[in-house]
């Protein structure tokens, strides 16, 4: 178990586009936190703006992690692509008995957290990879599943608003490289010949394209539903855009752009008797929602609310975590 009760949060990757928004949200909630990352000039000026301490070290420096994590109980890793950072940061958290959160959308990092379950339990710490947008997604899946008896199949569609940050475009390659996947009879499998499907986000049916998101891992953890399919209302940014020049992409959407639309998620769960329940999430646009979500989860942890081991957002907190995210609600259709 944890050696002593500490209630401080460290945010690694804090100078990235989303890391800065997460740090500002932590500041708004008056959490006791510090920031970290690999490049010191940006960190120093952000730390000075926020009035917090900062630590500069490479993600693979285990001694530096040990020093930096001494006073903290929870880490938010905002440094993506997570393929390059999640293993180092998760292992550092386990070694130093610190709870781990990230905002990854990469399935590999969820499976990594799953594989470290026993070590995390021994250390008495919780690992949640995917505590950004997936907090709402997972709460919606659990909520909708509870509306039928013996849920057998979950289909979820994501309607994104707000464009994509440069970091998300880079990371989406790691998602697309895995190919089409779904969960069938409790196993993750290649999804051969998937077809578009209509989903209602609250304003009538819209066509969505099969796309592996994270629910085939995270919402399997929270609901145990053996068959899970996922859809996206747009193509992921790396799909069909191999010539994107990263240097010319903006960091991410401006505050005004983020405020112009909403994130919508639509879930459909079929029960063993054939009955179907449909619910949706209405939430702020993506890059506003993610900081609100991951800091809500960190806030719970800092207050001593956690389950040791590998968890998804809803397996750790149930659907009630949605109540901690401002301007976000579940609606039953």
Ligand X SMILES: NC(=O)c1ccc[n+]([C@@H]2O[C@H](COP(=O)([O-])OP(=O)(O)OC[C@H]3O[C@@H](n4cnc5c(N)ncnc54)[C@H](OP(=O)(O)O)[C@@H]3O)[C@@H](O)[C@H]2O)c1
Looking up tokens 């936190």 gives: 33
Nearer to ligand X, 46 or 148 (CB): 46
**315 makes contact with ligand X (CB under 6 A):** no
Q: Which of 166, 183, 258, 264 binds ligand X (CB under 6 A)?
A: 166
Q: Which of 9, 15, 31, 280 binds ligand X (CB under 6 A)?
A: 15
Residues 3, 275: Cα–Cα separation, whole Å: 48
Stretch that binds ligand X, among 161-169, 181-189, 271-279, 316-324 (CB under 6 A): 161-169
Nearer to ligand X, 252 or 309 (CB): 252
- For residue 243, count other CB atoms closer than 10 A to its CB: 5
Contact 331, 277 (CB under 8 A): no
Contact 280, 288 (CB under 8 A): no
Give least dist CB 308 to ligand X, A.
Answer: 24
Residues 202, 280: Cα–Cα separation, whole Å: 7
**173 makes contact with ligand X (CB under 6 A):** no
Distance in angstroms between the alpha carbons of the first and the last residue of the chain: 43
Nearer to ligand X, 95 or 184 (CB): 95
Q: Which of 11, 92, 105, 116 binds ligand X (CB under 6 A)?
A: 105
**162 makes contact with ligand X (CB under 6 A):** no
Q: Determine the residue with CB nearest ligand X.
A: 167
Q: Where are the alpha helices (DSSP H) in the chain?
A: 17-28, 40-50, 62-69, 86-95, 107-115, 117-123, 134-145, 166-176, 215-223, 255-259, 286-302, 313-317
Give least dist CB 193 to ligand X, A.
Answer: 27
Name which of residues 275 to 314 contact ligand X (CB under 6 A): 287, 290
Residues 36, 272: Cα–Cα separation, whole Å: 48
Residue 241 backbone phi and psi in degrees, to 5: -130, 55
**211 makes contact with ligand X (CB under 6 A):** no
From residue 33 to residue 72, what is the string marking binding to ligand X with x (rule CB under 6 A)? Answer: ----xxx-------------------x-------------
Query: Can you give the binding site for ligand X, defined by CB under 6 A?
Result: 13, 15-19, 37-39, 59, 78-82, 84-85, 103, 105, 132-133, 165-168, 171, 251-252, 287, 290
């Amino acid at each position: 178990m944890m050696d002593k009760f500490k209630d401080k949060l460290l945010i690694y990757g804090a100078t990235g586009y989303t890391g800065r928004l997460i740090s500002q949200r932590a500041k708004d909630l008056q959490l006791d936190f510090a920031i970290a990352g690999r490049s010191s000039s940006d960190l120093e000026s952000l730390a000075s703006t926020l009035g917090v301490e900062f630590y500069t070290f490479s993600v693979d420096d285990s001694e530096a992690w040990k020093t930096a994590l001494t006073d903290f109980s929870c880490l938010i890793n905002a440094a993506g692509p997570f393929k390059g950072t999640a293993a180092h940061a998760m292992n550092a958290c386990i070694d130093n008995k610190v709870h781990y959160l990230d905002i990854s959308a990469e399935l590999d990092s969820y499976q990594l957290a799953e594989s470290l379950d026993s070590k995390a339990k021994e250390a008495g710490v919780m690992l949640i990879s995917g505590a950004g947008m997936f907090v709402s997604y997972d709460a919606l899946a659990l909520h909708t599943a509870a509306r039928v008896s013996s849920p057998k199949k979950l289909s979820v569609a994501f309607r994104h608003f707000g464009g994509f940050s440069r970091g998300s475009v880079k990371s989406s390659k790691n998602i697309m490289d895995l190919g089409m996947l779904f969960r069938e009879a409790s196993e993750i499998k290649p999804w051969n010949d998937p077809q578009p499907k209509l989903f209602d986000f609250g304003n009538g049916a819209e066509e969505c394209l099969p796309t592996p998101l994270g629910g085939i891992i995270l919402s399997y953890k929270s609901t145990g539903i053996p068959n899970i399919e996922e859809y996206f209302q747009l193509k992921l940014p790396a799909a069909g855009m191999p010539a994107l020049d990263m240097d010319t992409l903006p960091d991410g959407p401006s505050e005004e752009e983020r405020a112009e639309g909403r994130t919508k998620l639509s879930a459909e769960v079929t029960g063993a008797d054939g009955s179907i329940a449909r619910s949706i999430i209405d939430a702020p646009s993506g890059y506003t929602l993610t900081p609100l979500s991951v800091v809500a989860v960190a806030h719970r942890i800092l207050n001593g609310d956690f389950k040791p081991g590998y968890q998804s957002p809803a397996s750790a907190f149930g659907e009630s975590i949605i109540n901690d995210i401002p301007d976000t609600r579940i609606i039953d259709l």
